[in-house]
Amino acid sequence: MTLSRITTKADLQDYLHAAMQLEHATIPPYLTALYSIHPGTNSDAFHVIRVVAVEEMLHLTLAANMLNAVGGEPDMTRAGFVPRYPAYLPDGEADFEVSLERFSPTAIGTFLKIERPAQAPSEEMRVLRRPKPRAAIPAVHPDGDDGLHFWSIGEFYAEIARGIQHLHDQGVDLFTGDPSRQVTPELYYSGGGEVIPVKDLASALAAVELISEQGEGLTGSIYDEEGELSHYFRFQQLTLGRYYQAGDVANSPTGPALEVDWDAVYPLLTNATITDFPAGSEVRAAAEAFNAGYAEFLSLVNQAFTGQPDLLIPAVGEMFALRDQVGRLVRNPAPGRPGVNAAPTFDMPETTR
């Protein structure tokens, strides 16, 4: 795709499509790691990952609200929306790939990169023009062009915020979407952050800010405005073995100790694809059933984002059913691969419509 600096409303919509894809792209890796943990073990790690995954769903919802607000049409069912892992993130961060893998130090290392604070040294460095990396996720219009790449998700959202402000300053009529498409706090809450219906400049910027702060923290702080620890530092607790508490500074948590048992984890096949499981096996059938269920789930959520927000409630039920399917997969040995277990593959049909 080409992510140029935002100069038109169409550019902004492209960015917001990419934002939805970006937010979604983090969810399968988080869920795979989450459900690879043996039930009843690793309570601390389980909750840390769970919270982040749930907040990514919140971010996805916020991105959909923004896209709807500016008259765009969310589409999570189009071909390529779900990346094939390993994958680069669709904001163009080119120095690491994201894998579907079990809970492990490697996985947490990747998660730290996903949530890394915006720390590009200068305005010029914030947006880099670099060659398109191998297997980058085609975000909006896969055209093979080189585009802009961001150092971090935070930088990506900074450009969205800049673009919104810029277009607004230019007098562009931005908020032309149907207000009834907005997802409201009644329909989505989880404890961390609240859905912001987007209807004007202030709410749009507030939504961007919420996403950025939950990810990387308020500038210069490990906490966001609500006093919530940012994702980066949540994950970092797992590598440092200690919780942050109020008053702590970056890299030096002083809260209660936290226990991680890296061995209480199912040995999943990393970046499994459907053809890794022999045709005709029960595992193959279950993996296919999961993929079909996931496609249906995305379709349901997409309907919620395109005019029927109430459908988010049953979508949660669908998600819990998928959770139980993943549970069965990861406890089964992968046929013909001694010592390795099956895993959800998240292979989507070309189009899930």
* Smaller CB separation from another protein, 121 or 338: 338
Binding-site member from 179, 256, 307, 349 for another protein (CB under 8 A)? 256
Q: Which of residues 81-140 bind another protein (CB under 8 A)?
A: none
Least Å distance between CB 174 and another protein? 25
Q: From 207, 179, 182, select the one nearest 193 (Cα to Cα).
A: 207
Q: Which of residues 284-323 bind another protein (CB under 8 A)?
A: 286, 313-314, 316-321, 323
Q: Is 229 in the site for another protein (CB under 8 A)?
A: yes
Q: Is 38 in the site for another protein (CB under 8 A)?
A: yes
Q: From 52, 187, 154, select the one nearest 111 (Cα to Cα).
A: 52
Residues written for the chain: 353
CB 48 within 8 A of CB 237: yes
Binding-site member from 299, 331, 337, 340 for another protein (CB under 8 A)? 331
Q: From 112, 126, 129, select the one nearest 157 (Cα to Cα).
A: 126
- In the structure, how many helices (H) and strands (E) does the chain have? 9, 2
Least Å distance between CB 292 and another protein? 15
* Smaller CB separation from another protein, 90 or 217: 217
Which structure tokens are listed for 122? Answer: 């200068």
Peptide bond between residue 74 and the one before it cis (omega within 30 degrees of 0): no
Least Å distance between CB 332 and another protein? 4
2-19 b/e (C-beta count within 10 Å ≥ 16 → b): ebbebeebebbbbbbbbb
* Smaller CB separation from another protein, 77 or 237: 237
Per CB under 8 A, which region of 34-42, 127-135, 170-178, 343-351 contacts another protein? Answer: 34-42
Count of CB atoms situated within 10 Å of the CB of 170? 11
Least Å distance between CB 145 and another protein? 39
Q: How many residues bind another protein (CB under 8 A)?
A: 46
Least Å distance between CB 231 and another protein? 11
CB 217 within 8 A of CB 233: yes
Least Å distance between CB 204 and another protein? 21
- Cα–Cα dist 191/230, whole Å: 14
Q: Which of residues 186-225 bind another protein (CB under 8 A)?
A: 186-187, 189-192, 194
Helix (H) or strand (E) holding 40: none
CB 274 within 8 A of CB 287: yes
* Smaller CB separation from another protein, 206 or 319: 319
Q: Is 332 in the site for another protein (CB under 8 A)?
A: yes
Least Å distance between CB 193 and another protein? 8
* Smaller CB separation from another protein, 55 or 93: 55
Which structure tokens are listed for 343? Answer: 């895993």
* Smaller CB separation from another protein, 20 or 329: 329
- Name residues whose C-beta falls within 8 Å of residue 145's C-beta, 6 or more positions apart in sequence: 1, 2, 132
Q: Is 278 in the site for another protein (CB under 8 A)?
A: no
Least Å distance between CB 273 and another protein? 19
Binding-site member from 86, 255, 267, 293 for another protein (CB under 8 A)? 255
- Cα–Cα dist 30/49, whole Å: 7
Radius of gyration of the chain (CA): 20
- Name residues whose C-beta falls within 8 Å of residue 89's C-beta, 6 or more positions apart in sequence: 22, 25, 26, 98, 114, 137, 153
**Contact positions toward another protein, by CB under 8 A?**
38-40, 43-44, 47, 50-51, 54-55, 184-187, 189-192, 194, 228-229, 234, 243, 245, 255-256, 266, 282-283, 286, 313-314, 316-321, 323-324, 327-329, 331-333
